[in-house]
Amino acid sequence: MSTKPRFSDENCLWRFREKLLAIDEELKVQDVESLKFLCIGFISQNKLEKSSSALDLFDHLMERELLSVKEPFFLAELLYTIKQNRLLHHLGYTKKQVESLLPTQRKLSLFRKLLFELSEGIGEENLKEIIFLLGDNIPKTPMTSLSLLDYLEKKTEIDEDNLIVLERAFQKVLPCLIKKIENYKREKAAQEATPPVDKETESLHQGEEGIFSPSDIKQFYGTLPEVPWQNEHSRNHGRNIEPPNMMVSTKGFCLFFFKETSMYRMDRKHRGHCVIINNHRFTSLYDRPGTHKDAESLQLVFEWLGFTTHRHDDVTKGVMDKILQEYKSHPGHADGDCFVFCILTHGEFGAVYSSDGVLIPIREITHHFTAYQCPGLAQKPKLFFIQACQGTEIQSSVFIEADAQNCEQLSLQDSVPNEADFLLGLATVPGYVSFRHIKNGSWYIQSLCKHLKKLVPREEDILSILTAVNDDVSQKMCRDGTRRQIPQPAFTLRKKIVFPVPQLLL
């Protein structure tokens, strides 16, 4: 009997273990703790407690036949859940492939996924407050958000049908997490209402994807209400916009779905230019100490991402006009992937101040870079980040200042040109101030830089990163505990913006 197949199998297993070893080497201690938490219910508690590395977990998963050369998807699901998407290639997957397979192959329960997402949203200060509210029910030992949730689950204080303890605590400390629980309840109810999948359907999931014919699609469209696939530009010119590409499929539980948005191109000769307007001193307004920290952070991060940065300090209205004209017609845009414009200054809603006290509407700045005004950036993403108040000034403590002047209500949408490929990231929502530490910089810009450094290597797109920034900034508060801030993005992007992972990490 030939031993060749056995030798081949051993080779495959050897290479597979080499890949698992490579994954283990790139995981940090916190990642291993996250994996252990997600594996509750799949690996015995005794084995989980004794596991000190990812390799231990991989061994246990292979023993339980949850991980193998032929079936590596569960580990891919785990890595995707902890946002280690850059490691998926070791298993032969991309982030998009995992997302497409999750509806039919996921193993993690909605409850386990919810608890992990909640743990990510609990900061150190919030954790202390939650433990304080729970009082004597919690042991007086150091805890992380994951270990707290694990403890509550072990003590049956929470389970998939009972989250009252968490809801009460979040209502006081982190109201933003209540929405996650509400979404979980809706998903759980929908899942329970879905009939079990029979064997015939299962075989279809595992086989070829079935696509309806064009006539089937046309008939399906006939059952839907009419949708005017137009935008303001197309109506003004009497032209209809083609509807999004639709594919009708029998794969999974969906009858139809839109094709996943593609990504903007990021492989030209030059990543692009990043302009930073940093206003510290003003002729008629108070100074902005701490803004240089923001400017330095932005320079460091965007240079790391491959941009050529241009910093301008204390910019008057006249100088601003010259800068806008220069970059509106910059020849370097032709070879660039993207354009970034950052403004650190005082502001009102929909407008920012120059260093000589002139109020400049944000729309006046962004409109310089429309396809008509700036053909070199046509169909390329244009990102604007504004650190300035959008509302009334608030008296604050000595270490925290507000970047506000008087507020005149304008339309946020007016700040974004009525054409594609723009992103406007505002430090705060309409009517409210944004905060800046006089030494450490602003909450928004520092969080933006921190999450770019953290999530770009994980291949997260810019909107996912800004969502993480929103969550981070919303949890911060001033010393008196009464003032908070939530950023707000507005965009007309057509595709995902995913920056290539830099070779050197910051």
| Digit-coded pLDDT (tens) for 172-209 | 999 999 999 999 998 888 876 654 433 333 333 333 33
The pLDDT mean for the chain works out to 79
Task: Please answer whether residues 24 and 54 qualify as being in contact, where contact means their C-beta atoms are separated by less than 8 angstroms.
Answer: yes
DSSP 348-389: ETTEEE-TTS-EEEHHHHHGGGSTTT-GGGTTS-EEEEEES-
Same domain flag for 305 and 433: yes
User: For residues 287 and 269, what is the distance between their CA atoms, to the nearest angstrom?
Assistant: 39
Per annotation, catalytic residue among 333, 346, 368, 451: 346
Which pLDDT belongs to residue 489?
83
User: For residues 113 and 118, what is the distance between their CA atoms, to the nearest angstrom?
Assistant: 9
Same domain flag for 282 and 345: yes
Per annotation, catalytic residue among 274, 342, 389, 407: 389
Question: For residue 426, what is the domain's CATH number?
Answer: 3.40.50.1460
Q: pLDDT tens digits for 44-77? A: 888 898 999 999 999 999 998 899 998 999 999 9
Which of 193, 213, 232 represents a domain boundary (last residue)?
193
Same domain flag for 77 and 118: no
The total domain count for the chain is 3
Question: For residue 181, what is the domain's CATH number?
Answer: 1.10.533.10
Whether 389 sits among the annotated catalytic residues: the reply is yes
Helix (H) or strand (E) holding 442: strand 441-442
Same domain flag for 375 and 280: yes
Q: pLDDT tens digits for 120-179? A: 999 999 999 999 998 877 888 889 999 999 999 888 888 888 899 999 999 999 999 999
Question: Which residue, among 349, 325, 338, has the nearest Cα to 384 in the 3D structure?
Answer: 338
Same domain flag for 126 and 139: yes
Query: Considering the domain boundaries, does residue 145 fall inside one?
Result: yes
Which pTM does this prediction carry?
0.48
Same domain flag for 313 and 407: yes
User: What range does the domain containing 120 cover?
Assistant: 113-193
Whether 407 sits among the annotated catalytic residues: the reply is no
Measured at the CA of 439, the angle between CA 438 and CA 441, to 5 degrees, comes to: 80
Same domain flag for 276 and 374: yes
Instruction: Give the pair of three-digit tokens for residue 174.
Output: 């982190």
